[in-house]
Structure 1
Amino acid sequence: MSDNPWLTIVGLGEDGPDGLAPASLKALSEAEVVMGAARHLSLLPDLRCETIVWPVPFADGVPILMQQRGRKTVVLASGDPFWHGAGGSLTKLLDAGEWRSLPAPSTMALAAAVLGWPLEQTLTMGLHAAPFARLRPHLATGERAIVTLRDGAAVADFAAWLSDIGFGPSDLTVLEALGGPRARIRHTTANAMTLTEIAHPVSVALDAKGTDALPQASGRPDQFFDNDGQITKRPIRALTLSALAPLPGEHLWDIGGGSGSIAIEWLLAHPRTEATSVEINPERAARIRTNAANLGVDRLTVVTGAAPEALEGLAQPDAVFIGGGVSEGMLQTVWQNMPQGARLVANAVTLEAEVLLANWHSAHGGELLRIELAHANPLGRKRGWKSSYPIVQWSVIK
């Protein structure tokens, strides 16, 4: 970061210039142009330079900002620009010497100071421009989170969403315009949310209470995945995810997506994992998208088409799962497109597919595993074991 860049990102609190550090005041006094949301500009009414209202959506303002290169420019942001703010979006487009950031306390810091919640023990999330379901994997009784929301009306929507997924008893603290003269703090529960006239900017502190938490281990209950019967069942899914062994930043090809359960659990393993699910049936492909969105991993890419043709043009995988329709042609195409070090896991149910995997195991090594499961079922007035079809699983590193 340069001491004399053309762009300064100034974090602004709700008390306007009264809360700014000397360096931020100096940057504003020397600016040739100041860009910011209308609300931010209104907090600094005495600006003597050119002002530009940042348009909505946010991306539309970036080309306007870039046209100011070479002029002393200030961009106004809320609180800390690098805590769920504009800083990361802007600086990735610039060289290191072109910008500097002068932060103010973030909304999260102000909320934690009011609540007495240690930030290192509290989940913080920006939901002002993201679906509420991004929070879904983290919800469990006793978990605390502070989230930013789009506006006052979104608070009721957020409360209704929590109630719909079984977290209606959760305690909510609605925090409005923190750090300024309009600051207001009110309390409610998700299932009794009746607050009105909620001012922007708004955040909500959540103390979660509910009985339908999403387990953290691989092999989540099948009930979390809407399906038409085409799903890798929970025990097999747990073994499959263990063999796939997701790591941060890795990309999975899930071929024959079905309900999307494998790709979704891969994405739930870490926020930086990526996945592409390939599914030939358009109805199932739509269901995969819905399942992913409901479970907070809407970053899943779904390709509707038949493999191996549908694999053309996809980013290279770090791991591949073939869950349905395994064939010689499929394995040949996948193997050719996998980079060295990538992992392949294939599950087979039919005798023909089992022989195919045995042959590939003989040629390329890896591990061949036969999985046989039986469930206790009623047998007259007693119980007996009902066996499922055995699964043969081949896993290998290229």
Structure 2
Amino acid sequence: MTAPWLTVIGLGEDGVDGVSAVARRLLADAEIVYGGRRHLDLAGSVSAEKRPWPSPLAAGLDEIEASRGRRVVVLATGDPMWFGIGATLARRIPADQMRVLPAPSAFQLAAARMGWPLAEVETVTLHGRPAERLKLALVPGARILALTVADSPRTVAAMLTDAGYGDSPLVALEHLGGPSERRVEGLARDWDFDVAPLHTLAIECVAGSDALLLPRVPGLPDEAFRHDGKMTKREVRALTLARLMPLPDALLWDIGAGCGSVAIEWMRAAPRAHAIAIEPRADRRAIMAENALALGVPDLDIRDGTAPDALEDLRAPDAIFIGGGLSKAVFEASFAALKPGGRLVANAVTLESEAILLALHASHGGDLVRLAVSRASAVGSLTGWRPAMPVTQWSLVKSRGYDS
């Protein structure tokens, strides 16, 4: 096993006074020390060359890799592996070459101050990320700890109020673990406080009577989406996603995405699920982007294009949904790119598209079903069933032994 040449040390507000003897020795023996200006100041006097992070950060990561074999220390805040630089370095540096010495994380300290069991708390970071990501965690009674920047609490408070959670208590916990530690608290609807840049925001979700409840199980109400009529409706969408099987870290291609309802619910349904939504119409892409923000998945990757040409050079997917633009050529290009064991689902409403699915089912197998939904509505002074257009759905799992 290669001896670690890179050490990542987590610091608290008390700096090196709060780290272990091992961490102090490794810092004293280092040749190069990287960190933010604050971290380098907390390190005090060291014999090593101090290098603040350059902009862009990637340049510093390249420098660290080029220093392989030298004694390099990276200073970070709290637990470097929890939304920190350690997690970024671990994608580049083999585990046996890197030693990580964490301090208590901001989440641990905040949970301790709030008296919240950390295992029952939703943790998110909004550093460099849209505040709308928080919407995924908004359910009555939820407790959320968020890493935020100085102006984020106002943004979060306004967002909570707009979503019907204005009575939610907010607590900004500043400089946790240090001599300047302070808490600022109030309700979301009344929030108008300035807080220190270094803080963690604690949120206890209290839903008002007007709060829109959006569970993460597939099948959100159609009214939760803006659309121009081009969308997979609620019941069919729920069954479609059941076939697609959203899994953590998995990637979906949503071809002919329309308003993005399937891709958005895929991302909501599983932690760290990703989706690429391909849609040729600019007006629908704009609506899709609005829906992604409103429903808590601003990271939806929206692409302009028409399949199969738009599929070139995309990362191989774990699942594919063909909701528009179905053709034999689109299927063949999609299926060739699909990972072994991946799922493909295609829906058809027109007779022409259904004929394509029948032919593909005959040649490739899979499951073919017809989905028919009727809704009760007024018939004069009485009530009757009004059927929606039936949907033919074909689903297929790619064999793990498939040879493209």
State the SS of the aligned residue for 1:77: strand
- Matched with 2:379 is 379
Decide whether aligned partners of structure 1 residues 190 and 95 sit closer, same or farther in structure 2, where only a CA change above 3 A counts: same
- Matched with 2:92 is 93
Note if contact 2:131-2:155 (Cα within 8 Å) is conserved in structure 1.
no
Q: 1:388 offset after TM fit, Å?
A: 1.2
CA shift digits 1:17-45 (9 cap, x unpaired):
32122112212222223221111222233
- Matched with 2:231 is 231
Note if contact 1:37-1:55 (Cα within 8 Å) is conserved in structure 2.
no
The CA distance in 1 between the partners of 2:337 and 2:87, in whole Å, is 33
Paired AA for residue 245 in structure 1: M
Decide whether aligned partners of structure 1 residues 38 and 243 sit closer, same or farther in structure 2, where only a CA change above 3 A counts: same
Note if contact 2:247-2:271 (Cα within 8 Å) is conserved in structure 1.
no
Note if contact 1:225-1:259 (Cα within 8 Å) is conserved in structure 2.
yes
Q: 1:275 offset after TM fit, Å?
A: 2.1
Q: 1:294 offset after TM fit, Å?
A: 3.1
The CA distance in 2 between the partners of 1:8 and 1:293, in whole Å, is 38
**Alignment of structure 1 residues 96-175 onto 2, 5 Å:** 96-150=95-149, 152-175=150-173
Q: Percent identity?
A: 44
- Matched with 1:265 is 265
The CA distance in 2 between the partners of 1:15 and 1:49, in whole Å, is 21
- Matched with 1:360 is 360
- Matched with 1:185 is 183
State the SS of the aligned residue for 1:43: helix
- Matching of residue 204 in structure 1 with residue 206 in structure 2: no
- Name whichever of 182-191 and 317-326 sits farther off: 317-326
State the SS of the aligned residue for 1:180: coil
Paired AA for residue 200 in structure 2: S
Paired AA for residue 105 in structure 2: S
- Matched with 2:300 is 300
Q: 1:272 offset after TM fit, Å?
A: 3.5
Decide whether aligned partners of structure 1 residues 90 and 381 sit closer, same or farther in structure 2, where only a CA change above 3 A counts: same
Decide whether aligned partners of structure 1 residues 21 and 340 sit closer, same or farther in structure 2, where only a CA change above 3 A counts: closer
The CA distance in 1 between the partners of 2:328 and 2:97, in whole Å, is 54
Decide whether aligned partners of structure 1 residues 316 and 72 sit closer, same or farther in structure 2, where only a CA change above 3 A counts: closer
Note if contact 2:253-2:277 (Cα within 8 Å) is conserved in structure 1.
yes
- Matched with 1:274 is 274
Decide whether aligned partners of structure 1 residues 75 and 316 sit closer, same or farther in structure 2, where only a CA change above 3 A counts: closer
- Matched with 1:195 is 193
- Matched with 1:27 is 26
Aligned residues: 395
The CA distance in 2 between the partners of 1:341 and 1:178, in whole Å, is 46
Paired AA for residue 38 in structure 1: R
Q: TM-score, normalised by structure 2?
A: 0.91
- Matched with 1:317 is 317
- Matched with 1:55 is 54
Quote the RMSD (CA, aligned, Å): 2.1
The CA distance in 2 between the partners of 1:268 and 1:117, in whole Å, is 25
The CA distance in 2 between the partners of 1:288 and 1:156, in whole Å, is 26
Decide whether aligned partners of structure 1 residues 117 and 259 sit closer, same or farther in structure 2, where only a CA change above 3 A counts: same
Q: TM-score, normalised by structure 1?
A: 0.92
The CA distance in 1 between the partners of 2:197 and 2:348, in whole Å, is 55
- Matched with 2:249 is 249
The CA distance in 1 between the partners of 2:67 and 2:244, in whole Å, is 48
The CA distance in 2 between the partners of 1:319 and 1:85, in whole Å, is 30
Q: 1:339 offset after TM fit, Å?
A: 5.0
CA shift digits 1:193-229 (9 cap, x unpaired):
1222x22311101111222232122111122222111
Instruction: Specify every segment of 5 or more residues in structure 2 that has no aligned partner in the other structure, as ranges.
Output: 399-404
Decide whether aligned partners of structure 1 residues 317 and 28 sit closer, same or farther in structure 2, where only a CA change above 3 A counts: closer
State the SS of the aligned residue for 1:110: helix
Note if contact 2:258-2:288 (Cα within 8 Å) is conserved in structure 1.
yes
CA shift digits 1:328-386 (9 cap, x unpaired):
33334434444554322211111222233223223332222122222222222332222
The CA distance in 2 between the partners of 1:295 and 1:380, in whole Å, is 37
The CA distance in 2 between the partners of 1:371 and 1:96, in whole Å, is 49
Note if contact 1:167-1:212 (Cα within 8 Å) is conserved in structure 2.
no
- Matched with 1:18 is 17
- Matched with 1:65 is 64
- Matched with 2:402 is none
Paired AA for residue 16 in structure 1: G
CA shift digits 1:258-300 (9 cap, x unpaired):
0111111112221233322211112212322332233232333
Decide whether aligned partners of structure 1 residues 71 and 123 sit closer, same or farther in structure 2, where only a CA change above 3 A counts: same
- Name whichever of 44-53 and 343-352 sits farther off: 44-53
Decide whether aligned partners of structure 1 residues 98 and 261 sit closer, same or farther in structure 2, where only a CA change above 3 A counts: same
CA shift digits 1:102-154 (9 cap, x unpaired):
1111111111111111111111122222222222112111111111112x222
The CA distance in 1 between the partners of 2:155 and 2:86, in whole Å, is 28
Q: 1:99 offset after TM fit, Å?
A: 2.0
**Alignment of structure 1 residues 340-351 onto 2, 5 Å:** 340-351=340-351
The CA distance in 1 between the partners of 2:115 and 2:147, in whole Å, is 18
